[in-house]
Structure 1
Amino acid sequence: MTETEPKTAEDLFRFLDSLNIAHSTKTHPPVFTVAESESLRDEIPGGHTKNLFVKDKKDQYFVLTVEERATVDLKTVHKVIGASSRVSFGRPEMLLEYLGVVPGSVTVFGAFNDTGGNVTFVLDEDLMKHDIINGHPLSNDATTSIGRDDLIRFLEATGHPPLVLKVTD
């Protein structure tokens, strides 16, 4: 496996197992929007996530992981997350290079592919009220459920100690 080849869901699950982090994954048809994924709610308990891949003018990259129905004010969120300027969405090429995923599959679990530490991960305070957090395991045709505290342990183990901040309205 080369450095640039994104890791797979199976690699992610092995990594979680190596950390003794309990996780469960449910496969489903690919979902690209929150609306499409809402059909899965009855089957998968916990907080469901929406992930925004953004950057500031100095090319600092962030993944904002929030509850799926929450809104993020992109005009002001930079003040909360410590960006140098207003943020805009990151380009798909950078998403693939840093997190190993394509648009529609942005996930907090992408930290696993960011071996260069290029991205800061921000978890919304409201999302972290859930005991279980759900995210795509590097592709949007499955949902992986993990404990809130284990998600933080996972991020720390990938070298991405997360910022837990109030980033939603």
Structure 2
Amino acid sequence: MGRSRQPTIHEVVERVRATLGEQWIPRIYGEHILTGRTRRYPLGASNHKGSVEINYTLLGIELKIGRRRLLVPDWATARYLSVFARIGVDAVAVPYDITRISSLADELESSWQRMMMLAEHYSEQRSARFTARVKSQLKARLREELTALGAGRPYPEFATSTKVYRRSPAPPGHQ
């Protein structure tokens, strides 16, 4: 009897992506985040190799990416940004409407956790090194797709509907 062929790293990555479907992080980012008003937030996480942590300090909440510390306004924003920091994105679009950030952070975090569990599940018959390479390739794929989607504008657009009224000419003798 012949042995069945083991899937390659690329095949496992594609299988994880297909399984996630609507929960694939670039899809969430493109359909739920970039469609609204956003502002660009520079993370500078492309060359970090360390961990990503959220810390409470006397000054507020900070996101620690490797050795760098970024002060963030609230817990939801820290959770939101931590997902993109783990992926290693340089800059990311943050929704201008702060009421949406918490639910988006929930969705992104659950997608991240599910992706990591699927990577382990689909490579459970393989070595730990193989699993680590699958996760690394998944992050690279996410980073590539998120970079292609872009990080939004540096500042949010405001719909200003100001009317310009023409001044009537001044009567003779008045200036």
Higher share of residues assigned strand: 1
* Normalised TM-score (structure 1): 0.22
TM-score, length-normalised on structure 2?
A: 0.22
